[in-house]
Structure 1
Amino acid sequence: MSHNENNYISTLKIAIILTFLFFIVEVVGGIISGSLSLLGDAAHMLRDVFALFVSLGALSISKRLPSKEKTFGYHRMEIFAALINGILLIGVSSWIFLKAYQRLLSPEPIKSQIMFLVALLGLSVNIYVAFKLHGSGDLNIKSAFVHVLTDTFSSGAVIVASIVIYFTDITIIDPILGLAIGLFILFSAFTIIRDSIHILLEYAPVDIETDELIFEMEKVEGVNEVHNVHLWTLCSNVNILDAHIYTEVMDVCEVENIKNKLKKILLDKYNVKYATLEFEWVKCSVEGNIKHLKH
């Protein structure tokens, strides 16, 4: 593992501890102040903890070598963790909706000063964590950074709401903001679940056009045709490809050169980190394609 990866693992561990501790602070502060939007922001913090934990897990499991039983290693654990995260977030957002509905029907007093101080501290934690995560080229770290950044805006909104409530005593702002935060959490949850299922069902990566990929591969000199292509995602930053390459090149060294060119294109342009390329000098029969397999 590189020095940068070790640094990011240390940073993620610190970020997880800070974010989780302040999640507890916001829950307590939300209960004491009576602020639903602060509790909603705490739910955002919990989402950030999961996002940071998934990123940490993705970096940590990359050190574990595959075994005879687990030929792909533990990369898919990241996706299962994300799926569980999404399901839990639906429960959290549902609770926020219920409480917001109750508050709209029967408003409760809010201690805006406590609400302001806790939200301000939360904003400070988010800014610190976002600053530490900013600039990484790793997709997992980037994802965690985006999660924390969006929570920064949420904390800012709670601060504004607390100021308005303090000067106007219009407490209905709090459940309305709570509803808005709940909707955002629900949208995030469905996005996480959708992306997780997409990967678990081994669909092609959403950011790759398979036809374009095949076209780029067929542009390599010596490649007559690319077919029987299977492209899927192992985890958030590892794509895998299996394909048949029809060629008329007979020289073994030249075929090896073609294979290396193809793998470089796949890695550089499409983030395909593992490619199995089966070269053919006679086109395989249609019956050999996976679409003809039966249960």
Structure 2
Amino acid sequence: MSNHNQHNHSATNNISTAFFLNLLFTIIEFFGAFYTNSLAIMSDAIHDLGDSLSLGMSWYFQKISTKKATKIYSYGFKRFSLLGAIINSIILLIGSFFVIYKAIPRIINPEESDAKGMMWFAILGIIINGAAVLKLTQGKSLNERVVTLHLLEDVLGWVAVLIASIVMQFWDIPILDPLLSLAIAFFILFNIYKNGKESIRIILQGAPIKISLDDIRDAILKNKNIKSLQDSHLWTMDGEQNVFTAHLILVDTSITSKESLKIKQDIKAVLLNKFQLEHITLEIVNLEDSEYIDCVSSS
């Protein structure tokens, strides 16, 4: 088995382990929320449900990410992850509004929660989510690193629940529970907005956030053989696989086909090294007779 296949297999196993740990604890959380009458645990359960969906989809797309392109999906299957992100955001959005709807009356008329029960669930949450984080930190893929950061947020959320539950055991402050649930709900809504904004940008074929089309143009125009660019486009398939296409206008239009190929290969090498581009298509245009010279594509 090649190193690439070994890394992919390891990443799939790491994410699947984290997924099952998170899903099992999410189910326990919902029961715990009703048992302790805690909105904070309920809101964290909804958050963890979203995380379980994210992990499940990350696991699935990690498995299919190496599938070859087909006649129907010529760029491959990476953009399917956007469907998962949108579905996940809708579920989290509904859950967050449910928590807010339940929390506001309990701020006005606080209800007692089982603080000791909340404390034990918080400890369990820190242990299980912490185990998932430790499992994922063994991996090297970008997918694993992103999911690890997401689960670290969960650990911090449970630390907040733990602190609140300990405080409520010594002081009668039942309003802490709905306040904490609101904080978690608004945190989820903030992430929905941030991730949704990025998903819409990708769907509408906007340029990648970290790459400037102007910077790419400047890098190409540094080549002494290039006079100008036409019809240049930059977009991303899934936030990671970035695509660039352009028509190049040469200073000297009398060059041979072999020379034009060398110019494009040189430019392609510069772009691959300097920018996170995985698919580059360059075409040289002969303005004198409006004919296209050969094109070279990199994927």
TM-score, with normalisation over the residues of structure 2? 0.89
Residue number among 267, 271, 279 corresponding to 2:272 in the alignment: 267
Contact 1:139 1:236 in 2 (8 A): no
Residue of structure 1 in register with 2:136 after alignment: 133
**Hey, which bits of structure 1, 4+ residues long, moved more than 4 A?**
none
Residue of structure 1 in register with 2:102 after alignment: 99
1:158 aligns with 2:161: yes
Percent of pairs identical after alignment?
32
In 2, the alpha carbon distance for the partners of 1:261 and 1:55 equals: 36
Residue of structure 2 in register with 1:42 after alignment: 45
Flag the 1:139–1:241 CA change in 2: closer, same or farther, 3 A.
Answer: same
Deviations 1:188-218 (A, max 9, x none): 1111211111111101111111111110122
Contact 1:15 1:52 in 2 (8 A): yes
In 2, the alpha carbon distance for the partners of 1:158 and 1:88 equals: 23
1:74 aligns with 2:74: no
Residue of structure 1 in register with 2:295 after alignment: none
Contact 2:107 2:175 in 1 (8 A): yes
SS at match of 1:65: coil
In 2, the alpha carbon distance for the partners of 1:24 and 1:94 equals: 20
- Output aligned runs, 1:10-29, within 5 Å: 10-29=13-32
Flag the 1:266–1:141 CA change in 2: closer, same or farther, 3 A.
Answer: farther
Residue of structure 1 in register with 2:234 after alignment: 231
The answer to which of 156-165 and 52-61 deviates more is 52-61
Contact 2:26 2:48 in 1 (8 A): yes
Flag the 1:112–1:283 CA change in 2: closer, same or farther, 3 A.
Answer: farther
Residue number among 185, 190, 194 corresponding to 1:187 in the alignment: 190
Contact 2:39 2:181 in 1 (8 A): yes
How many aligned residue pairs are there? 285
Flag the 1:229–1:136 CA change in 2: closer, same or farther, 3 A.
Answer: farther
Contact 2:14 2:139 in 1 (8 A): no
Residue of structure 1 in register with 2:297 after alignment: none
Flag the 1:136–1:259 CA change in 2: closer, same or farther, 3 A.
Answer: farther
Alpha-carbon deviation of 1:89? 1.1
TM-score, with normalisation over the residues of structure 1? 0.90
Residue number among 122, 126, 132 corresponding to 2:125 in the alignment: 122
SS at match of 1:276: strand
SS at match of 2:206: coil
Flag the 1:278–1:34 CA change in 2: closer, same or farther, 3 A.
Answer: same
Contact 2:54 2:84 in 1 (8 A): no
Contact 2:11 2:140 in 1 (8 A): no
Deviations 1:207-248 (A, max 9, x none): 111111110122234233223111111113101111111223
SS at match of 1:246: strand
Residue number among 169, 176, 181 corresponding to 1:178 in the alignment: 181
Residue of structure 1 in register with 2:293 after alignment: none
Contact 1:126 1:148 in 2 (8 A): yes
Flag the 1:40–1:225 CA change in 2: closer, same or farther, 3 A.
Answer: same
1:168 aligns with 2:171: yes
Structure 2: segments with no counterpart, 5+ residues: 291-299
The answer to which of 128-137 and 26-35 deviates more is 128-137
Residue of structure 1 in register with 2:262 after alignment: 257
Deviations 1:247-275 (A, max 9, x none): 23724344333322322333333211011
Structure 1: segments with no counterpart, 5+ residues: 286-295
The answer to which of 191-200 and 257-266 deviates more is 257-266
Alpha-carbon deviation of 1:179? 0.4
Deviations 1:84-142 (A, max 9, x none): 11121111110110111121122222111111111111111222222222365533222
In 2, the alpha carbon distance for the partners of 1:214 and 1:94 equals: 45
In 2, the alpha carbon distance for the partners of 1:229 and 1:284 equals: 21
Contact 2:89 2:192 in 1 (8 A): yes
Residue of structure 1 in register with 2:287 after alignment: 282
Alpha-carbon deviation of 1:168? 0.9
SS at match of 1:235: coil
Output the aligned Cα RMSD.
1.9
1:86 aligns with 2:97: no
